Structure 1
Amino acid sequence: MTHISAKPARQAAETLPANDNNQAALADLSFLDVINDDDQIADIARRAERLGHVTLIIMAIGLTAAPLLYLMLA
């Protein structure tokens, strides 16, 4: 009599087919592993906030200068 199981028997890693879906073979490519210091995280947040402020100021200047330029050339 043959025993029939709903789950197939586990295979060793060497006998599994080569594919990219094997979770054990996936590399952890998170950039957060490189940043491990709170000072570095705070520095990145400060730079991002400064960049946001500069972008906001440039957008405000552009939104006021564009209509003025249009009225001057019309």
Structure 2
Amino acid sequence: MTFIQRLDTADVNAANDNHDHVPGSLSVLDIISLANDEKKVAELVRRTERTAIVVVFAMAFCILFFPAVCIALAYGI
């Protein structure tokens, strides 16, 4: 019996991410379809910035007050 090696394009170009493995795959921007409407793009950017600011403040709150809560619970204050 002879071993026949099958070369697949995904195996040959394993480190190359430029090739689509699924033909007709959509990106996030294609799904949202905001390419032609600048108002929708600006609103999406504003919402993203607001969400990022809320996340940063929540992280800062946890970093500042979590040690204080742990110390208070440890010493029974």
TM-score (norm 2): 0.57
Residue 49 of structure 1: aligned partner: 49
Write out the 4+ residue segments of structure 1 that deviate beyond 4 Å after TM superposition: none
Aligned to 1:62: 62
Give the deviation of 1:30 after TM superposition.
3.1
What TM-score comes out, normalization by structure 1 length?
A: 0.59
Normalized per residue, the structure richer in helix is 2
Equivalent residue, structure 1, for 2:40: 40
Name the residue aligned to 1:6: none
The residue aligned with 1:13 is: none
Q: Give structure 1 stretches of 5+ with no counterpart.
A: 1-22
- How many residues are matched? 52
Percent identity reads 34
> Using the alignment, how far apart are the partners of 1:57 and 1:32 within structure 2?
28
RMSD between superposed Cα atoms in Å: 2.3
- CA deviation profile, 1:13-71 (whole Å, cap 9, x unmatched): xxxxxxxxxx8xx3252343411201111000000000000001101110111100111
Q: Which residue of 1 aligns with 2:8?
A: none
Q: Secondary structure at the match of 2:26?
A: coil
